[in-house]
Amino acid sequence: MTTARRFSPIARRLTLMNLLVSASALLLASIGFLAYDQYTFRQGLVQNLSAQARIIGSNSASALMFNDPQTAGNTLSALRSFPNVLSAGIVTADGRMFAQVSQSPEEALLAVPSVPATQTQVAIFRSDEVVLVRDITFQGKLLGTVFIRSSLSELRHRLWRYLLIAMIVLLISLIAALLISALYRQAVAQPIISLAETARAVSEQKNYSLRAVATRDGTEIALLIDAFNEMLQQIQTRDEALREAHADLEKRVAERTHELLMANRELEAFSYSVSHDLRGPLETINGFVHLLLSKYGPGLDEEGREYLQQVRGASHRMAELIDDLLNLSRVSTTAMHKEQVDLAAMARQIMQDLHRREPSRDVQFVAAECPQAEGDPRLMQIVLENLLRNSWKYTSTHARAQIEFGCEQRGNSAVYFVRDDGAGFDTRYADRLFKPFQRLHSAAEFPGTGIGLATVQRIVQRHGGDVWAESKLGHGATFFFTVAPQPQIMTQRESRIAI
């Protein structure tokens, strides 16, 4: 057995418990015996003094009646043979000292206690002495009292001897209890120590095949070990089943992932194929419309040229729709490469590009300094382009417009937003905003394909965020979006670009 096992905490506690129990029992027993010995010794001392006082009183009754102090003194002198008697005396009924003897002059009693009327004697214990006073009567008449003053030094010596004996007995008993505890400690503590070591090994190694050493003594410890081993058996069985299920799940996930990857590749190839097949006829239509306008345009009336322009416009819108659908499919299938993105700088660049395309527009752009977001720069570019182009488009009816990009803290997330004072929308139809081909304004009023906001939603969701909008018809709109949770945002510093 190792040192750790021999002096394990449970073994030390068992030993300490045995010693404390034994010491407590012996101490209480010693206190009880000591109290009983002190009580019986005091009672015996009072009885001895009472017998002596009774004898002296009987022998001194005639001396009191005939007023013979010398005879009474001779009777009292017999007490000098008792070394514990400090002094003794006889007092008359009127309180006068009749006769007195003492071991030394300073041992004389200064005041004699009185005996209550209902008693014949009284014993008064003081710190280092006891005084017994007894009445002297003859034929029912009180002649006086006799007192004996005795030292309690024997009681103190007896007390110290008893304490010394009790300490020796206590020490011997504790040594015996320690030896006996060492014999039984192994049988009681060892199964618990073995169980604790097994539990520690299972916790550290995660090896549920380990088992505690079982005992067959039928005690509660044996039941505990059996229950612990049974629990390990159940955990081992479930762990093996869980591993098998996990392996099977990983296999299925790999198969489904492969199938999904192949399906995405086929869908992407189909999208490119469809795009190419659709673009061919569109380019043919645009080419023939251009030839008709170039060659036969002067011969056509205004209505005919308007028809050709509508055909050309429809083909252009069809091409834009194809591009938007391809972008929407790429958003869901392409891999993301996340890094820190400065959305505020990206928003400023997009607004500058919009201004260069339409320099006649009077638009004031406000951009706040926001914390960088962790995301795919290419996809976040698409998000801001769609939101800012929407704001640019829906403020086109205003002579002077304002567009703002900013951020605010909500809980533990930074919320980015794009706000404008454009046409806005009716919030009753807000659920249609992020669905493909759903538009809240007519194409004649504001052109578009209805794919942009659906693309924004898919990109934001791929970044683990959310997107929503708040608006009031005719009073502009605000589009909010989040990405992965960011630290507390810095104090916003606005930089204004007049456009």
pLDDT digits (tens, 9 = 90+) for 122-132: 998 888 889 99
* CATH number assigned to the domain covering 335-498: 3.30.565.10
Sheet with 121-125, side-by-side order of all strands: 97-102, 85-92, 141-151, 129-138, 121-125
Residues 306-334, mean pLDDT to the nearest whole number: 67
| Measured distance CA(380)–CA(418) in Å, rounded | 13
Residues 316-340, mean pLDDT to the nearest whole number: 68
Residues 236-258, mean pLDDT to the nearest whole number: 86
Per-residue b or e along 382-393, where b marks 16 or more CB atoms closer than 10 Å to that residue's CB: bbbbbbbbbbbb
Position 279 scores a pLDDT of 66
Length of the chain as a residue count = 499
Position 6 scores a pLDDT of 47
Each residue's pLDDT tens digit, 372-422: 888 888 888 888 988 888 888 888 888 888 899 999 888 778 899 999 888
Give the three-class secondary structure for 359.
coil
Using alpha carbons, select from 16, 12, 13, 19 the residue that is nearest to residue 170: 19
Position 1 scores a pLDDT of 42
Position 255 scores a pLDDT of 86
**353 with 479: CB under 8 angstroms?**
no
Position 491 scores a pLDDT of 40
Task: Give ∠ CA 169-174-178 in degrees, rounded to 5.
Answer: 150
User: Which residues have CB under 8 Å from 398's CB, separation 6+?
Assistant: 421, 422
Position 146 scores a pLDDT of 92
| Measured distance CA(435)–CA(458) in Å, rounded | 10
Question: Max CA-CA distance within the chain?
Answer: 182
Task: Look at residue 348 and tell me whether its pLDDT is greater than 70.
Answer: yes
Displacement of CA 7 from its chain's centroid (Å): 32
**198 with 16: CB under 8 angstroms?**
no
Bigger pLDDT: 192 vs 355:
355
Position 329 scores a pLDDT of 61
Which element (helix H / strand E) includes 355?
A: helix 343-357
Task: Look at residue 493 and tell me whether its pLDDT is greater than 50.
Answer: no
Using alpha carbons, select from 182, 224, 209, 227 the residue that is nearest to residue 1: 182
Task: Look at residue 133 and tell me whether its pLDDT is greater than 90.
Answer: yes
Is the domain spanning 9-170 CATH 2.40.10.10? The answer is no
Task: Look at residue 184 and tell me whether its pLDDT is greater than 70.
Answer: no
Task: Look at residue 497 and tell me whether its pLDDT is greater than 70.
Answer: no
Position 325 scores a pLDDT of 61
Domain ranges of the chain: 9-170, 335-498
The DSSP symbol for 412 reads T
Phi/psi zone of residue 436: left (φ > 0), alpha (ψ -120 to 50 degrees), beta? beta
Residues 423-430, mean pLDDT to the nearest whole number: 74
Position 441 scores a pLDDT of 57
Position 495 scores a pLDDT of 41
Position 492 scores a pLDDT of 43
Q: pLDDT class for 435, splitting at 50, 70, 90?
A: confident
In the chain, what percentage of residues exceed pLDDT 90? Answer: 8
Position 490 scores a pLDDT of 41
Position 2 scores a pLDDT of 44
The mean predicted confidence, pLDDT, of the chain is: 79
In the chain, what percentage of residues exceed pLDDT 70? Answer: 80
Task: Look at residue 3 and tell me whether its pLDDT is greater than 60.
Answer: no
Task: Look at residue 239 and tell me whether its pLDDT is greater than 50.
Answer: yes
Q: What is the pTM of this model?
A: 0.42
Task: Look at residue 171 and tell me whether its pLDDT is greater than 80.
Answer: yes
Which of these ranges, 67-71, 236-240, 380-384, has the smallest mean pLDDT? 236-240
Each residue's pLDDT tens digit, 251-302: 888 888 877 777 666 666 666 666 666 666 777 777 777 777 777 777 777 7
Residues 110-129, mean pLDDT to the nearest whole number: 84
Position 4 scores a pLDDT of 42
For residue 94 the two structure tokens come to 């009127």
